[in-house]
Amino acid sequence: MSAQRALLIILDEKIRSDRLVLPTLPDIALRVRERADDPQISLQQMADVISQDPALSARMIKVANSAFMGRSIQVNSLNQAVTRIGLSQIKNIAIAMAMEQLFVSQHKQVQQQLDRLWRDSVQTASVAVACLQFYKARHRDCKLNSDVMALAALVHNIGALPVLIEAERHPDVFGHPAFMQVLIDKIAAPVGLKIIQSWGFGDEFMPVVQHWRSPRSEPEPGYTDFIRLAAINRNYYLPELAQTLLADYVTRELVPVPEFMQQREIADTYQDVRALFN
């Protein structure tokens, strides 16, 4: 039996029997989420929680000072950063900034795949948030939030993570990148759904993980649509499907033109979001 076939059988069986090991959120992300859900928490108390992780603290100050936040006066402390970002956005942004900690392996080939997966996720988040910001500037009644969009984009393909970790036990499969992509496309959606359910993420994340690969018409623009725009930008879909989908998004004014990444406003925001992860 080939290594590819063996891995597919193992993954199918573990998914059916609910034995596939799912990743857990970093401890600091769990603590931030728990405290952010407390309606009585203060900004000072939230800063105290984040301060337990120096790397996350530095990133939150970077976010607060970023062009994306649209502020020119620099903050110098975590307390100031948390105040500027605000409790309404802090949870999703903090979790997003901590997510990279999950994409780690001791196996060189697996780490290369995880690095690629993280880069794709950051690219997706940058494009999706930029397009959403452009849309919201012209549709003031849009209720979608940029912090939710960023986190949704970072987890849209999270189901690929345990697939790659499981494949670590079958190093031969990494010599077949086409097979790995087919395997991820086959399994990542149901596995990703299990992951975000186990993490206690809200309902708005479910359709992103489940449906971004399968373009479908929605009555109102949602987070999944902006993930699909990012997928179009990185040539995920077949050309004919991408053109059809993009034409629909232009008609519905999600983006102004098919070459939407050449629009100055979208391109600038894209660069601002990407800078947050550098």
pLDDT in tens, 70-108: 766 889 999 999 999 998 889 999 999 999 999 998 888
What is the reported pLDDT for 166? 84
- Would you say 276 and 251 are in contact if contact means Cβ atoms under 8 Å apart? no
- The whole-chain average pLDDT of the chain stands at 91
Which residue intervals of the chain are DSSP H helices? 3-16, 27-36, 43-50, 54-64, 78-85, 87-98, 108-138, 146-155, 160-167, 177-198, 206-211, 223-233, 239-251, 264-275
> Regarding predicted confidence, which is higher, 212 or 173?
212
The percentage of the chain sitting over the pLDDT mark of 70, rounded to a whole number, equals 98
The percentage of the chain sitting over the pLDDT mark of 90, rounded to a whole number, equals 69
Mean pLDDT score, 238-259: 95
Q: How confident is the model at residue 151 (pLDDT cuts 50, 70, 90)?
A: very high
pLDDT at 47 over 70: yes
pLDDT at 148 over 90: yes
Q: For residue 158, what is the DSSP state?
A: T
- Tens digits of per-residue pLDDT, 12-36? 888 888 888 899 999 999 999 999 8
